[in-house]
Structure 1
Amino acid sequence: LIPVTAFGLGTWQVKRRKWKLELIENLATRFNAPPQNLPYDLSELNEMEYSSVRVKGRFDHSQELYMGPRSLLVGGDAAGQGGMFSQSSGSQTGYLVITPFHLADRDLTILVNRGWVPAKMKNPEQRKQGQVEGDVELVGLVRLNETRPPFTPKNNANTLLYRDLEQMAEMVGAAPVYLEATESSSVPGGPIGGQTRISLRNEHMSYIIT
């Protein structure tokens, strides 16, 4: 009975490993593909997580939201069989600045995670230089809803702890569409973009061998 069970578990791990490798490859393809336009049919975004999209419009800085505390992510990302990842500096804590963004090509406001600021710069009065005005064009990664982690309190209006897109959108009168701005969107005195953490590790080979 034990050898048969072990064989069955090994077969399951082989299939699981194949699925994981395909998932990693698909994610890497999306992440590295050239930016595309935000689709008019927003339901298409459900199949576009981590895809790059280009949008043009203007920020409404008067309705900023803050998620954190968070550490600054540095070092970009790396792709390989083990997955893609970002490293955390761990030396500073701060907040992600999420700002309503009214699109120039349609009557729609979305949410843009502009990036990270240190805790002492959370107050926008401390970073007026980075509060860009007028129409801007930026590239961001599509992110979907996030399940509330175990033992994590619910979000409140002052500080968000996780991505509840419907709740966040309702707070500022936007559509539940969320982009994480890339590092190239950073401006002097403003949030540091490129704060997307991607972590997919493939450990199934060790399980199969064991």
Structure 2
Amino acid sequence: MYRFLLTRQWLITILVALLLIPATIELGFWQLHRHEARVARNELIGKALTAPPVPFDTLSGAPGAGVPKDLTWRTVTATGRYDTAHEFVVRKRTDSSGSIGYFVVTPLTLADGKGTVLVNRGWVASAATATEYPPVPAAPSGEVALTGRLRADETYGDSGIKDRSGLPDRQFNLINTEEQSKESGVTLLGGYLELADTKPAPGDQPALVPEPNHSDIGPHMAYAIQWWLFTAMIPVGVAVLARREAKDRAQKAAKAEAAAEAVPADA
């Protein structure tokens, strides 16, 4: 009854189904791993943001040192004076509404003399043309006390941003202490500070970068379940198609037999 499964058409169908099953299982696990990574990231961010603030220079290492993963997003404090002569902007950054503009980054010379840290003071809108330096609220003068989130240097490999040369003066693609140290000649402590609060409060300042959303786990678990449901449907679908074809073949054979019996013997 099911000898048709040995035909070329059905052998190809079964082979494709057998190849799809492990592929869809693997895709499901890929989405599961993305879900687990997202949950772990959210837990890390939530823990870091709720921890008591500590001085920046107690977490940031020597100049050029990286920020450990478990310290990223940690709330930190810093006191010092802004070095506006080496201020720059970072291109193609979005605000909370998705508008494209610039991050304003200003070095802060620490009051305790332990070094200088880059501070992302927030977002400003684009200038009239891409070659112009955007209008930027002036950094507070005098000594300021900051609270912010500790971030690791951005890199071209991790961010996916392409390295481009020939950018306008004081415009860059990344917030990277090594790049800025070479550009400005200022020795910078590793990592940077994403500003959350300033005392005394300035009259005007860039739009502060909001805290990351650490409650959204994303759709990856739902995608994983969908892939595994599809995996289960593959053999079921093949079985349904085979049964349907067997039924169609049986009906055709019965009709042919009935037609043969209806023909008179002397016809």
TM-score, normalised to structure 1's length?
Answer: 0.72
Superposition deviation, residue 41 in structure 1 = 5.6
Match of 2:194 among 165, 176, 180: 180
Match of 2:147 among 131, 136, 139: 139
Find the counterpart in structure 2 of residue 76 from structure 1.
Answer: none
1:51 aligns with 2:63: no
Identity %, equivalent residues: 26
Unaligned runs of 5+ in 2: 1-17, 128-132, 227-267
Residues 34 and 52 in structure 1, CA contact (< 8 A), matched pair in contact too = yes
Structure number with greater Rg is 2
Match of 1:204 among 217, 220, 228: 220
Find the counterpart in structure 2 of residue 162 from structure 1.
Answer: 174
Find the counterpart in structure 1 of residue 122 from structure 2.
Answer: 115
Q: Report the CA distance shift for 1:207/1:98 in structure 2 as closer, same or farther (over 3 A).
A: same
C-alpha separation between the residues in 2 aligned to 1:99 and 1:154? 21
Find the counterpart in structure 2 of residue 192 from structure 1.
Answer: 207
Superposition deviation, residue 13 in structure 1 = 4.5
Unaligned runs of 5+ in 1: 74-86
Question: What are the within-5 Å matches in structure 2 for residues 21-170 of structure 1?
Answer: 21-38=39-56, 39=58, 42=61, 43=65, 45-47=67-69, 48-71=71-94, 73=95, 87-88=96-97, 90=99, 93-119=100-126, 122-123=134-135, 127=137, 130-148=138-156, 149-151=160-162, 153-154=164-165, 156=167, 157-170=169-182
Residues 59 and 101 in structure 1, CA contact (< 8 A), matched pair in contact too = yes
Q: Report the CA distance shift for 1:207/1:169 in structure 2 as closer, same or farther (over 3 A).
A: same
Residues 155 and 161 in structure 1, CA contact (< 8 A), matched pair in contact too = no
- The one-letter amino acid of 1:145's match is D
State the Cα deviation string for residues 65-98 of structure 1 (Å, max 9, x = none).
Answer: 1112434x2xxxxxxxxxxxxx3253xx542221
Superposition deviation, residue 180 in structure 1 = 1.1
Residues 108 and 118 in structure 2, CA contact (< 8 A), matched pair in contact too = yes
Kindly tell me the number of residue pairs found equivalent between the two proteins: 189
Superposition deviation, residue 133 in structure 1 = 1.6
- The one-letter amino acid of 1:36's match is V
Superposition deviation, residue 198 in structure 1 = 5.7
C-alpha separation between the residues in 2 aligned to 1:154 and 1:180? 26
Which structure has more helix as a fraction of its residues? Answer: 2
Q: Report the CA distance shift for 1:7/1:150 in structure 2 as closer, same or farther (over 3 A).
A: same
State the Cα deviation string for residues 44-82 of structure 1 (Å, max 9, x = none).
Answer: 7323111111111111112211112434x2xxxxxxxxx
C-alpha separation between the residues in 2 aligned to 1:5 and 1:68? 40
Which structure has more strand as a fraction of its residues? Answer: 1
SS in 2 for 1:177: strand
